[in-house]
């Protein structure tokens, strides 16, 4: 038990270390800033590097070409990605890899795992949902970083099953919208006659992959919170007004203490949910754990990021100062894979009341 | 070397965790007085002593004390299970200052004579202790305490006043923080004294609190003669010992049990008041539920540290703050949905499970005792976040 635990913390530590190479926590934001409002909004070379490091297939089994690790490692990784503000669509790619690893036809999997091809799953038909309707002619919305897609994966309902189709991005009808952090989301109007069929039923695995993506996104938010709060603490310790370091003011100290509590709650929720998933939980237990973590991350995340702006004062409201980039990224991911409200409702509908 | 034979002859650490849990659970269910489950108020010694003696007789009174000193000698992981079972069944807190404070103090810092004299009397229930810490002008700023002890031959002469002394009227001994050096820095002139409450010059006055309950007392010391051999550890080093003892209190105050208890009562009340299905109520209830679940996760993080034998840092204050404020938010919600029942003195319909006003009042001091939440936030900002002065 404790040996397994030690191995686990070792693999988590290694993942965190390797993340530093791509998204350094303490690094400057020059790369991230330069990519804002460009197309595709991220660096395909860095995306390929993420593939080489085994990140895209992190939770994919080793015999399918993945790293065979679990959600505990995945949330550690996405936390580092958040802290470093990397704009590459790692979580959507991990979701696609999860799908492709579960289907018989593995032709598309290898290029995605290597990071050579950006495959994004166009599963969503409306805002704030985790439900996969698979309506064949419905536009697919809010596809993160769609400007960089090489191909889309399309879940399409056929009776009780969800078939999977692949569609080349070249020539596809994609309308892009800019996001607050300088990235983009796309709306795809797919022409199924141009698509090729990949699998007959991915319903169950897609449901699980969406849960994992929601939890990974909670980890991403945790990274944003930690880093923005670290910057804020440093500011409180140096900025002077009225002849004093502002961090000596008790009202600011107490607010900082409250934000620290929110971060600690979020970490506890995210890491305990990852442990639940890694223990093989399925169904309602898995969904409740994920919803608990994502509800906390979305709500406490935006609270902490907003307060980090406030504690900086005017400088925090400038584009030039980095702390605002964390809030903007937070706004983009807070409701991805379900808002706090959606997840609270789902938790309440699922979680057994453990009352006497 | 002091050696006190433990009553429990079995080394319970040898049991598997789940078997141990069941063993404890079954014994509690068979022995705890049913009418005292989840008591609405802190019980007095008269009400509590049957349970105290049951535990003493079984040898389970002091789970954390080493077996050499008559305790159960449980490993941290087993102690946590033991506590969880006690809390699960809603067992009343005993008059436990001897168990959780004086015992560990003497085991770590007492002379063999002090250990041999006092520890068996805690284990038997002969000595019931109270804690003489706070004073009228030394509450949050405890180190400002002024009750003084002046050496006179082989006795200290104690003069001063303590306040918020929990259940002092039930106690026959008191462990006291006193000032023994008025010229030193305030933290460096404090000592620990053990005082027999029957000593002439001690007056105990109960304080009625907002629950109309006499849980606290004022204790007055007027030229009270205390044998010098009753000083614990090194003179003037009492503050460090007192601080070390508080680490128990900080995790105890962060336990989700109070919030969890109030939360089950919130649901019962909502059903009784006919608002259970109400969308606005469900929204609030869902938020509270998730806060409670996340509190449990965060508590688990600290418990795991204890389980691994680590000592807890100042960050455990996060638990105290969040737990106590959640407890209050739950009881705030109870009051809000209770309608005019929010003004009743007694539980609704004579049903102890429908007691919004009792819980609302009980939740008030949670953010004050054990270091007010404002002090906890000071601790967090200075010792965890490293914010200046």
> Each residue of B253-268: pLDDT tens digit?
899 989 999 999 999 9
The verdict on B148 and B78 lying in the same domain is: no
Q: Indicate whether B39 belongs to any domain.
A: yes
The answer to whether residue A1 scores a pLDDT higher than 70 is: no
**Are A265 and B294 in contact (CB < 8 Å)?**
yes
**B76 and B149 inside one domain:** no
Question: Is residue A281 within 8 angstroms of chain B, CB to CB?
Answer: no
Choosing from B8, B47, B84, B249, which is the catalytic residue? B249
Cβ of residue A344 closer than 8 Å to a chain B Cβ: yes
**Cα within 13 Å of Cα(B380), Cβ side:** 31
Query: With an 8 Å Cβ cutoff, are A264 and B282 in contact?
Result: no
Same domain, B231 and B265: no
Q: Are residues B298 and B350 in the same domain?
A: yes
Tell me which residue in B267, B286, B294 faces A268 most closely, judged by beta carbons. Answer: B294
pLDDT tens digits, one per residue of A10-22? 999 999 999 988 8
Report the CATH number at residue B179.
2.40.110.10
Nearest CA in chain A to B293: A292
Q: Give the residue from chain B lying closest to A264, CA to CA.
A: B298
Establish if B194 belongs to a structural domain: yes
Give whichever of A330-334, B251-255, B343-347 has the largest mean pLDDT: A330-334
Is the pLDDT assigned to residue B198 strictly greater than 60? Answer: yes
Q: Which residues of B touch A295 (CB under 8 A)?
A: 290
Find, in chain A, the residue whose alpha carbon is nearest to that of B284.
Answer: A344
B151 shares its domain with B225: yes
Query: Is B249 annotated as catalytic?
Result: yes
Residue B80 confidence (pLDDT): 85
Q: Which of B46, B68, B94 is the last residue of a domain?
A: B94
Identify all chain A residues contacting B384, using CB atoms and an 8 Å cutoff: 257, 260
Nearest by CB to A292, which of B293, B298, B382? Answer: B293
Q: Which of B42, B75, B94 corresponds to the end of one domain?
A: B94
Q: CB of A6 within 8 Å of any CB in chain B?
A: no
**Among candidates B293, B377, B389 on the partner chain, residue whose Cβ is nearest the Cβ of A248:** B389
Nearest one of A167, A192, A183, A187 to A175, comparing CA atoms: A187
For residues B232 and B261, membership in a common domain is answered with no
**Residue A4 reports pLDDT greater than 70:** no
**Shortest Cα distance from A342 to chain B (angstroms)?**
11
For chain A positions 295-334, those within 8 Å of chain B (CB to CB) are 295-296
* Contact (CB<8Å) B294/A269: yes
Higher pLDDT, B370 or A346: A346
- Name the minimum distance, in Å, from the CA of B65 to any CA of chain A: 26
CA dihedral B252, B253, B255, B258 (to 10 degrees): 130
**Structural domain boundaries, residue B89:** 12-94
Domain boundary among B94, B119, B137: B94
Option in A253, A264, A267 nearest B387 (CB): A253
Question: Are residues B334 and B368 part of one domain?
Answer: yes
pLDDT at B248: 67
| pLDDT confidence of residue A2 | 53
pLDDT band for position A284 (50/70/90)?
very high
Residue B99 lies in a domain: no
In a domain? residue B104: no
How confident is the model over B284-342, as pLDDT tens digits? 999 999 999 999 999 999 988 887 888 889 999 999 999 999 999 999 999 999 999 99
To the nearest whole angstrom, how far is the Cα of A14 from the nearest Cα of chain B?
22
B263 and B365 both lie in a single domain: yes
Say what the pLDDT of residue A21 is. 82
* Nearest CB neighbour to B377, from listed A247, A257, A351: A257
In a domain, B241, yes or no: no
Q: Do B181 and B78 fall within a single domain?
A: no
- Record the pTM: 0.91
CA distance A218 to chain B (A): 14
Domain count, chain B: 3
Helix/strand/coil (H/E/C) assignment for every residue in chain B: CCCECCCCCCCHHHCCHHHHHHHHHHHHHHHCCHHHCCCCCCCCHHHHHHHHHHHHHHCCCCCCCCCCECCCCCCHHHHHHHHHHHHHCCCCCCCCHHHHHHHHHHHHHCCHHHHHHHHHHHHHCCCCEEEECCECCECCCHHHCCCEEEEECCEEEEEEEECCCCCHHHCCEEEEEEECCCCCCHHHCEEEEEEECCCCCEEEEEECCCCCCCCEEEEEEEEEEEEHHHEECCCCEHHHHHHHHHHHHHHHHHCCHHHHHHHHHHHHHHHHHCCCCCHHHHHHHHHHHHHHHHHHHHHHHHHHHHHCCCCCCHHHHHHHHHHHHHHHHHHHHHHHHCHHHHHCCCCHHHCCCCCHHHHHHHHHHHHCCCCCHHHHHHHHHHHHCCCCC
**What kind of fold does domain A204-350 have according to CATH?**
Butyryl-CoA Dehydrogenase, subunit A; domain 3 (1.20.140)
Q: Are residues B199 and B148 in the same domain?
A: yes
For residues B178 and B370, the model is more confident at B178
Percentage with pLDDT > 70 across chain B: 99
Question: Does the beta carbon of A250 lie under 8 angstroms from any beta carbon of chain B?
Answer: yes
CA neighbor of A223 nearest in space, from A305, A145, A143: A305
Residues B88 and B189 in one domain: no
The answer to whether residue B243 is domain-embedded is no
């Amino acid at each position: 038990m404790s040996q397994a635990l030690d191995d686990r913390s070792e693999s988590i530590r290694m993942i965190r270390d390797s993340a530093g190479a791509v998204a350094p926590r303490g690094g400057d934001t020059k790369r991230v800033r330069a990519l804002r409002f460009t197309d595709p909004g991220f660096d395909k070379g860095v995306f390929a590097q993420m593939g080489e490091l085994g990140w895209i297939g992190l939770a994919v089994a080793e015999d399918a070409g993945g790293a065979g690790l679990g959600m505990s490692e995945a949330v550690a990784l996405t936390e580092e990605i958040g802290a470093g503000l990397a704009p590459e669509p790692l979580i959507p790619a991990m979701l696609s890899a999860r799908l492709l690893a579960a289907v018989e036809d593995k032709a598309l999997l290898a290029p995605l795992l290597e990071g050579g091809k950006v495959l994004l799953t166009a599963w969503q038909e409306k805002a704030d949902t985790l439900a996969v309707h698979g309506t064949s002619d419905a536009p697919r919305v809010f596809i993160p970083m769609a400007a960089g897609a090489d191909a889309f994966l399309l879940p399409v309902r056929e009776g009780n099953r969800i078939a999977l189709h692949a569609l080349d991005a070249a020539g596809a009808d994609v309308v892009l919208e800019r996001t607050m952090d300088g990235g983009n989301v796309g709306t795809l109007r797919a022409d199924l006659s141009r698509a090729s069929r990949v699998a007959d039923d991915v319903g169950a695995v897609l449901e699980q992959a969406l849960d994992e993506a929601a939890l990974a996104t909670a980890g991403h938010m945790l990274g944003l919170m930690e880093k923005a709060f670290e910057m804020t603490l440093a500011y409180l310790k140096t900025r002077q007004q009225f002849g004093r370091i502002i961090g000596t003011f008790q009202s600011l100290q107490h607010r900082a203490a409250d934000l620290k509590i929110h971060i600690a709650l979020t970490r506890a929720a995210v890491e305990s949910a990852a442990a639940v998933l890694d223990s093989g939980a399925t169904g309602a237990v898995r969904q409740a754990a994920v919803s608990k973590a994502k509800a906390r991350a979305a709500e406490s995340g935006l609270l902490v990021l907003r307060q980090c702006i406030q504690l900086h004062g005017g400088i925090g409201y400038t584009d030039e100062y980095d702390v605002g980039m964390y809030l903007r990224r937070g706004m983009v991911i807070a409701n991805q894979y379900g808002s706090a409200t959606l997840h609270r409702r789902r938790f309440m509908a699922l979680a057994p009341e453990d009352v006497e | 070397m002091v050696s006190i034979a433990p009553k429990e002859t079995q080394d319970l650490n040898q049991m598997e965790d789940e078997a141990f849990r069941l063993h404890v659970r079954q014994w509690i269910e068979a022995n705890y007085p049913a009418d005292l489950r989840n008591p609405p108020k802190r019980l007095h010694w008269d009400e509590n002593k049957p349970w105290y003696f049951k535990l003493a007789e079984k040898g389970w009174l002091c789970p954390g004390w080493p077996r050499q000193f008559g305790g159960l000698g449980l490993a941290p992981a087993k102690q946590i299970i033991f506590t969880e079972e006690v809390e699960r069944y809603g067992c009343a807190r005993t008059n436990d200052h001897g168990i959780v404070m004086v015992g560990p103090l003497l085991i770590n810092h007492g002379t063999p004579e002090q250990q041999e004299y006092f520890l068996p009397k805690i284990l038997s229930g002969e000595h019931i202790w109270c804690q003489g810490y706070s004073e009228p002008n030394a509450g949050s700023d405890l180190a400002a305490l002024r009750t003084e002890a002046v050496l006179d031959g082989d006795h200290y002469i104690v003069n001063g006043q303590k306040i918020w002394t929990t259940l002092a009227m039930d106690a026959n001994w008191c462990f006291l923080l006193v000032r023994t050096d008025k010229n030193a820095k305030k933290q460096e002139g404090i000592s620990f004294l053990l005082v027999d409450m029957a000593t002439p010059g001690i007056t105990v006055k109960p304080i009625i609190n907002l629950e109309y309950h006499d849980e606290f007392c004022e204790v007055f010391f007027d030229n009270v003669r205390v044998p010098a051999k009753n000083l614990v550890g090194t003179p003037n080093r009492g503050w460090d010992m007192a601080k070390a003892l508080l680490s128990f209190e900080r995790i105890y105050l962060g336990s989700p049990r109070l919030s969890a208890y109030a939360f089950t009562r919130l649901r019962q009340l909502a059903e009784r008041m006919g608002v259970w299905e109400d969308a606005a109520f469900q929204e609030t209830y869902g938020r509270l539920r998730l806060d409670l679940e996340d509190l449990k996760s965060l508590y688990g993080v600290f418990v795991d540290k204890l389980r691994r034998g680590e000592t807890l840092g100042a960050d455990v204050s996060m638990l105290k703050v969040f737990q106590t404020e959640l407890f209050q938010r739950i009881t705030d919600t109870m009051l809000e949905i209770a309608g005019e029942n929010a003004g009743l003195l007694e539980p609704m319909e004579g049903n102890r499970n429908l007691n919004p006003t009792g819980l609302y009042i009980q939740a008030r001091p949670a953010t004050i005792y054990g270091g007010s939440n404002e002090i906890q936030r000071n601790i967090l900002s200075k010792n965890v976040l490293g914010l200046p002065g």
